[in-house]
Chain A
Amino acid sequence: MPLLENGHVTEDRWAQAIAGEALPAGAVIVPLDRLEEGLARPKDALLGVAIGPDVDVAVLRPALPRLALVAVNFPTFRDGRAFTQARALREHLSFTGEIRATGTPLPDQYEFLLRCGVTSVQTDRAEDVAVWQQAHDIISIAYQPSVLHERAQGLGLRRFLGK
């Protein structure tokens, strides 16, 4: 599937670091163990980092001002740790750059991803983008706060998801 950003297909402007090769000059996503190498590049070169689900995102705190992207990973759609990582990046580390979900999340998780602060999805799944869009559109009401700060509407905990 192509890269999905805010419900739209976009061109991926990011290159992935290739093991054993020097980092390219432009926008590049490095694995966590090459973060120092990425940070050593010129300050205007766009840098992203890919982390596994077992990483405490607090380790990114010193580097975060230089990072334009953090890629979180779903080794399987059942492993929900990346939801917590994304939320901690937004809520505790005030990260405002792109959070990209990689691995194999399901389209049925799309709304959860967005509400935890993920902004783009890159998966190998075969579904048409329309399935993801539909998963986003189908539910318009939520019952708890999220990083998107949907405005509470009327009674209780409810809020409209603004679609």
Chain B
Amino acid sequence: MSTDTATLPVGRYAYDEVDRTFLSQRVAQFREQVGRRVAGELTEDEFKPLRLMNGLYLQLHAYMLRVAVPYGMMGSDQMRELAHIARTYDRDYGHFTTRQNIQFNWIRLEDTPDILERLAGVNMHAIQTSGNCIRNVTCDEFAGAAADELLDPRIHAEILRQWSTLHPEFSFLPRKFKIAISGSPHDRVAARFHDIGLVAHPGPDGRAVFDVFVGGGLGRTPIIGVKLRDNLPEEDLLAYLEAVVRVYNAYGRRDNMYKARIKILVQALGVDQFREKVDAEFAQMNRADYRLDPAIVEGIRARFGIPALDAPANAADRLDSDRKADARFDRWVRTNTHAHRHEGFISAVVSIKPDGGIPGDVTADQMDLIAALADDFSFGEIRVTHMQNVVLGHVRKDQLRDLWLRLEGAGLGTPNIGLVGDIIACPGLDYCALANARSIPIAQKLSARFANPELQENIGTLRINISGCINACGHHHAGHIGILGVDKRGEEFFQLTLGGSAENDVAIGQIIGPALPEDETVDAIARLIDTYLVLRNEGEAFIDTYRRLGAASFKDAVYAPA
């Protein structure tokens, strides 16, 4: 078995023969399950949880396959395989999701085992991207690169990925279970909107410790997660999570799927009683059996490739002069980059939100281009963000303009990260069997309306989230402006919420008033933004103006057009 570190993929765990054997067994297992379904030995009811645990949904028009991108990290070789799958088995495109995965919307059931086999060829899979089990563990898109990071959370994200894979006790939970992990004091993972949110930082001995949040979530009942535990030692990470999930598995509601998430249990018991149960379980456990030995952590860390961060001494100066020479490039650097821990490097965000486009949709050709750019500029490493964009984590500052030029040439240079155009939207009624309304057209109209980059930058930081139904896959409660599709006597209406946030200033957006018809919604949001521009203090972001003045100042703008 090769452990040649020179060949390890940067930023993610390198599979070896054992991991590959596991994946091929898993594909064979699914092939056999599909066979039994086709032969009628399994009913659709029985087959459903098995296909869901392999990422296969039945949508409005076709099967949808959601491929796991563990903690959002993939390599250029993997991206090229996804492009091939998009061309061969789908309609030439894929869709990045808010949980850092990618999904294909036009898949045939009988092709799925072959697709999974192709994915396994590049060490990818669709395990537990759906179903009532522990889902893909999400992570900071700037992990291992961010200047403000205390600890690279991807090592522990990988440990949790492995631990939760085909977990014997936790594969038939009351409902899905989502874990996010951050290693930065700036929450970029929405830790308090997850079933479990982990915020990692170095402990006194240098080993990681974790603050544990539990019971957050959006969906029909948006709830901000509560702190369950401070400074959980690394060696107890698995034991403690076992205890939390075990309490949930035993006591979570199973009579009503809309009340089955852990957040409902935590609310019903109260956090103190929930914590008592977890502590009692934790105290009973044989901690030696579940101990996460530092040697295990270091063994897994050693399977991660490390980028060789060598930049010329004048790299930063070169970037400065490139910016001064080109105002459009300068704007893109302002909006679409993030500070790197190395002075010669920077992280670049590729917006998958072109003006008037569909948030998160990426064509096969764009996938190939992103793969090529990752090879040329960022050690072959690609990150999918929970905002449905792509990050190239380690770009040399003196090469940033070359990267931007190639992005521009391919229509991927939209300078709108964190701005009005950086909209999160669920697939909505165009694809989804649950939706009440189409999210995508609203997103496209808003994006086209505010396409002017100067206007966007002037408006500043603004998070718009659109969900096509109360299941809230577009996280509308967490948007500074949230848009929720509702059905009113067979017509699509949209309800606005204001003031939500998934970051350090976490908050749940509040409904501002009655829902609006589709053709009035975009105008109402434009008036809302105009009002903010009038009312804001200098340098004040929309969310801060809203918090300072309250909903009343904005309500007239929405409902009383001038």
Q: Contact at A145–B289, with CB atoms within 8 Å?
A: yes
Q: Contact at A153–B168, with CB atoms within 8 Å?
A: no
Q: Contact at A138–B25, with CB atoms within 8 Å?
A: yes
Q: Which residues of B contact A115 (CB under 8 A)?
A: 168
Q: Contact at B25–A139, with CB atoms within 8 Å?
A: yes
- 9-residue interface stretch from A16-24, A44-52, A63-71, A106-114: A106-114
Chain A contacts with B in 107-155, Cβ cutoff 8 A: 108-109, 111-116, 127, 131, 134-135, 138-146, 149, 153-155
> How many Cβ-Cβ contacts under 8 Å join chain A to chain B?
119
Q: Contact at B33–A158, with CB atoms within 8 Å?
A: no
A1 within 8 A of B: no
Q: Contact at B32–A77, with CB atoms within 8 Å?
A: no
Given contacts A91-B286, A92-B284, whether A139 and B49 have CB atoms under 8 Å apart is: no
* The residue from A81, A113, A144 contacting B163, defined by CB atoms under 8 A apart: A144
**Contact size range, B:** 35 or more
Q: Contact at A157–B172, with CB atoms within 8 Å?
A: no
Given contacts A92-B284, A127-B41, whether A139 and B169 have CB atoms under 8 Å apart is: no
B58 within 8 A of A: no
Q: Which residues of B contact A84 (CB under 8 A)?
A: 169, 246, 249-250
Q: Contact at B169–A143, with CB atoms within 8 Å?
A: no
Q: In whole angstroms, how far apart are the Cα atoms of A154 and B303 in the complex?
A: 13
Q: Which residues of B contact A145 (CB under 8 A)?
A: 238, 289-290
Q: Contact at B249–A80, with CB atoms within 8 Å?
A: yes
* The residue from B41, B163, B173 contacting A80, defined by CB atoms under 8 A apart: B173
- Closest residue of A by beta carbon distance from B254: A79
Q: Which residues of A contact B317 (CB under 8 A)?
A: none
Q: In whole angstroms, how far apart are the Cα atoms of A84 and B245 in the complex?
A: 10
**Contact size range, A:** 35 or more
Given contacts A140-B25, A158-B162, whether A80 and B169 have CB atoms under 8 Å apart is: yes
Q: Contact at A112–B21, with CB atoms within 8 Å?
A: no
Q: Which residues of A contact B176 (CB under 8 A)?
A: none
Q: In whole angstroms, how far apart are the Cα atoms of A91 and B281 in the complex?
A: 11
Chain B contacts with A in 316-350, Cβ cutoff 8 A: none
Q: How far is the CB of B254 from the nearest CB of chain A, in Å?
A: 6
B46 within 8 A of A: yes
Q: In whole angstroms, how far apart are the Cα atoms of A149 and B299 in the complex?
A: 20
Residues of B bordering A, CB below 8 Å: 16, 18-19, 21-22, 25-26, 28-29, 32-33, 36, 41, 46, 49-50, 132, 159, 162-173, 238, 246, 249-250, 254, 284-286, 289-290, 296, 299-300, 303
Task: Identify the 6 closest CB pairs spanning chains A and B, nearest first.
Answer: A80-B172, A115-B168, A112-B168, A143-B162, A141-B22, A83-B169
